[in-house]
Structure 1
Amino acid sequence: MSTILFTHPSAELYGADRTLLQVVEAIAERNASPQAEGPRAPSRVVVALPRRGVLADRLEALGAIVEVGELGAALRADLAPGRFGKFLHKARRGARFVESLVERHGVDIVHTNTTVLIGAAYGAHRSSAHHVWHVHEILDNPSWARLGMRSLIKRWSDVAIANSRATAAAMLDPRIERAKTIYNGVARDRGDDELGDRAKVRRGLGVGAGDALAVLPGRINSWKGQRLALDAAERLGDACPRIVIAGSPPPGQEHFAIRLDAEIRERGLAERVMRIPFTEDLPSLLAAADVCLVPSTRPEPFGLVAIEAMAVGTPVIAADHGGLQEIVEHGVTGALFAPGSADALAGAMRDVLGDPGRLASMGPAARERQRSMFTHERYAEEMLGVYESLMAPWAVQRAA
């Protein structure tokens, strides 16, 4: 039996958290079925997190061993003058923690899930295990950080995985010998009977039967586009749909949510815009919406909420950059608008919601595109294939 160690920087249930959960679910499903010998034999899963949280509970329910400790995450604050020495100390602790887990659990493969885990990645590189580095970010500023990260990924990984072509172009050195682009997938195709009653969900939000509803899911931070949505709402005036912003801020950054809630009130938008905390039943909320908004002001490496919306037949209005360009087919499954432009976002909302016939055709097209390109089954098969290739007898030896 092989052992796979996943290192991950949070314990919540947002995009990268859910993709990790999907991989562990796939391993659990494979372990529960009859297996051949060799690289497809059952695997033991260990997950290292920086703290406990809902993700840890979900992972343990799947049979994973959860270890909590320092992982040496590189945060933007670590780039500030005078902080680099403290970061190096943190990174060394993270490396030692990962090396100790590899030795204690007899780990064969370390899967570093995101680029921020510099310490964990270095520990994986120094250890006896194979190292898979899964890139979920596009670092656009400062440029030296992106170039430095490209170099580290090339030097420290045995296999590098990007979650979109946009991520691969930005973050992976083209000279990497073993690099793959693997699109995220929706965990499962939920039938209508598994989703919350659409009318009931809308009533619970105070949305009338005749009102258009736009849902903007995601973490509350500086670049997910929540404030841009407020700007667009002001431009639309009475034509603005009901907008539900669904999400919570990262731990320790509650000021983002406090500021957003205050702006909704101060701008006089409370009758049209509301914020609700993160919900685990996001599919039911998305199914109740007429459109899903993904107005990120920085390039999304992928855009998991977009395919989650498409899976329940909800068209997506998204910023025209990053991985979203690979997900949304403009004019067919939704609309793409100029990034950072409130006027363009308002115009896209007006165009899509103002044409009932067009809106009705976009839903089925969105669902079909998700089923053809972004499924859990395809994602799981490709991810497990990476591990199997490393465990196969003919796998290349790790670089020194």
Structure 2
Amino acid sequence: MRIGIVCPYSWDVPGGVQFHIRDLAEHLIALGHEVSVLAPADDETPLPPYVVSAGRAVPVPYNGSVARLNFGFLSAARVRRWLHDGTFDVIHIHEPASPSLGLLTCWAAQGPIVATFHTSNPRSRAMIAAYPILQPALEKISARIAVSEYARRTLVEHLGGDAVVIPNGVDVDFFARAEPKPEWQGETLGFVGRIDEPRKGLPVLMKALPKILAERPRTRLLVAGRGDEKEAVASLPKEMRERVEFLGMVSDEDKARFLASVDVYVAPNTGGESFGIILVEAMSAGAPVLASDLDAFTQVLDQGGAGELFTNEDADALATAAIRLLGDPERRAELRERGSKHVRRFDWSTVGADILSVYETVTQGAAAVAADERTGLRARFGLARD
């Protein structure tokens, strides 16, 4: 099958949607399908052979964050050229309602279109206001996927229609095989995310840290991600700042080793999450997870069965839970075992098969419609069958 996938966000800026698209493309290629991904990218960005650049992206505030999107006349021309050259059997657009390549592709594409909706934003006035503009493009979509029940709810409430829920995928074995790194072990809390993006929750974790260190002074917080490190620890007493170690951006391999090394992985995110791919990666690597009780996180963690939850934005609750987990190796071992079993439902062997089933359904439907149209034309003009 020839599959075209559209990435809305800049390929050179790490993010959950980009990682999902990358892993999906590589999974499909490994199965023998021909895949091309169209994505925004700076000129100097090294790209995998299956990625086609749609040009540089610009930062746009979106869903409580800043997304790097690509939209305009030049982008539209590149979309049309990519569609022409690809002659795809199916086109898979991610976030078609954002002002990005996905919306441009919806306008320009012909044939079966599958769309995945990642955003969870129950109060999106902008999406409601833009609906009359979006409607003609969205009506061309053959099948809709939502990465969680909360992303599906956003779609239903603001854009109408419905979607099948297929979660983000993870190569579970890649993380499960990771070897711990000795220097990252020993009473360590872990955090992965953009340091200077408030909704990722690092300020909440920093606020909890003094209480944690008062009870367990040997604890270290390891932070992986880009951002202003000095600003991140500015709220901490100076004597505690040395207990925070910033690792900067890490490779996929080091992220897996990082998650396999920490005693507790903390996800203090405050909102705007429709899934929680980092939770799945952490469970895959064997890290006990402590997360804010966002709806999406609660679902990923099996209502708290595969990880512990604390009240969102409550630093004291976070600190209390972290202290308890750091002092209870048996509970951590229990969470590792439960998480390792639960996470298998997110493996690409399952998720990829579900997405392929959607592709096959829409392509078969398109073929049936085309056959019916040919039959109708023959009957209308009295033509014999081939």
TM-score (norm. length: structure 2): 0.81
State the Cα deviation string for residues 12-43 of structure 1 (Å, max 9, x = none). Answer: 44322221111111211111xxxxxxxxxx33
1:222 aligns with 2:203: no
Confirm or deny: 8 A CA contact 1:5 1:107 kept in the other structure. Answer: no
Partners of 1:393 and 1:337 in 2: how far apart? 46
Partners of 2:240 and 2:367 in 1: how far apart? 58
State the Cα deviation string for residues 258-311 of structure 1 (Å, max 9, x = none). Answer: 5225455x6543232222112122111101011111110114211111011111
Confirm or deny: 8 A CA contact 2:156 2:162 kept in the other structure. Answer: no
SS of the aligned residue for 2:240 comes to: coil
Partners of 1:5 and 1:346 in 2: how far apart? 42
The match for 2:54 is 68
The match for 2:39 is 48
Q: 2:144 aligns with which of 138, 151, 160?
A: 160
The match for 1:34 is none
The match for 1:248 is 226
SS of the aligned residue for 1:390 comes to: helix
> Using a 3 Å threshold, how does the CA distance of structure 1 residues 150 and 166 change in structure 2: closer, same or farther?
farther
The match for 1:236 is 212
> Using a 3 Å threshold, how does the CA distance of structure 1 residues 53 and 145 change in structure 2: closer, same or farther?
farther
> Using a 3 Å threshold, how does the CA distance of structure 1 residues 27 and 77 change in structure 2: closer, same or farther?
closer
The match for 1:183 is 167
Partners of 2:31 and 2:72 in 1: how far apart? 34
The match for 1:379 is 351
The residue type paired with residue 356 of structure 2 is L
> Using a 3 Å threshold, how does the CA distance of structure 1 residues 218 and 132 change in structure 2: closer, same or farther?
same
Q: 1:125 aligns with which of 98, 106, 114?
A: 106
Confirm or deny: 8 A CA contact 2:266 2:290 kept in the other structure. Answer: yes
The residue type paired with residue 76 of structure 1 is P
The match for 1:277 is 248
Q: 1:99 aligns with which of 77, 80, 93?
A: 80
State the Cα deviation string for residues 338-372 of structure 1 (Å, max 9, x = none). Answer: 1111111112212222222222211111111112x
Confirm or deny: 8 A CA contact 1:3 1:108 kept in the other structure. Answer: yes
> Using a 3 Å threshold, how does the CA distance of structure 1 residues 104 and 368 change in structure 2: closer, same or farther?
same
TM-score (norm. length: structure 1): 0.78
Pairwise CA distance, 1:45: 1.9
SS of the aligned residue for 1:76 comes to: strand
The residue type paired with residue 158 of structure 1 is S
Aligned residue pairs: how many? 356
Aligned pairs for 1:81-96 within 5 A: 90-96=71-77
> Using a 3 Å threshold, how does the CA distance of structure 1 residues 330 and 101 change in structure 2: closer, same or farther?
closer
Partners of 2:139 and 2:153 in 1: how far apart? 17
SS of the aligned residue for 2:169 comes to: coil
Partners of 1:377 and 1:100 in 2: how far apart? 32
Q: 2:284 aligns with which of 301, 308, 311?
A: 311
1:320 aligns with 2:289: no
Partners of 2:131 and 2:156 in 1: how far apart? 5
1:259 aligns with 2:231: yes
The match for 1:25 is 26
> Using a 3 Å threshold, how does the CA distance of structure 1 residues 299 and 267 change in structure 2: closer, same or farther?
farther
SS of the aligned residue for 1:169 comes to: helix
SS of the aligned residue for 2:9 comes to: coil
Confirm or deny: 8 A CA contact 1:219 1:247 kept in the other structure. Answer: yes
Q: 2:90 aligns with which of 106, 109, 115?
A: 109
The match for 1:290 is 263
* RMSD over equivalenced CA pairs, Å: 3.2
The residue type paired with residue 243 of structure 1 is L
Confirm or deny: 8 A CA contact 1:135 1:163 kept in the other structure. Answer: yes
> Using a 3 Å threshold, how does the CA distance of structure 1 residues 364 and 148 change in structure 2: closer, same or farther?
farther
Q: Which runs of 5+ in 1 are unaligned?
A: 32-41, 80-86, 250-255
Confirm or deny: 8 A CA contact 2:6 2:101 kept in the other structure. Answer: no
1:213 aligns with 2:213: no
State the Cα deviation string for residues 88-117 of structure 1 (Å, max 9, x = none). Answer: x94454334322321233244332223574
The residue type paired with residue 222 of structure 1 is P
Partners of 1:123 and 1:50 in 2: how far apart? 16
The match for 1:15 is 16
- Which 4+ stretches in 1 moved above 6 angstroms? none
98-107 or 316-325, larger mean C-alpha shift: 98-107
State the Cα deviation string for residues 142-186 of structure 1 (Å, max 9, x = none). Answer: x31243467737545332221111111123349855622111122
The match for 1:36 is none
SS of the aligned residue for 2:242 comes to: coil
Pairwise CA distance, 1:317: 0.6
103-112 or 310-319, larger mean C-alpha shift: 103-112
The match for 1:39 is none
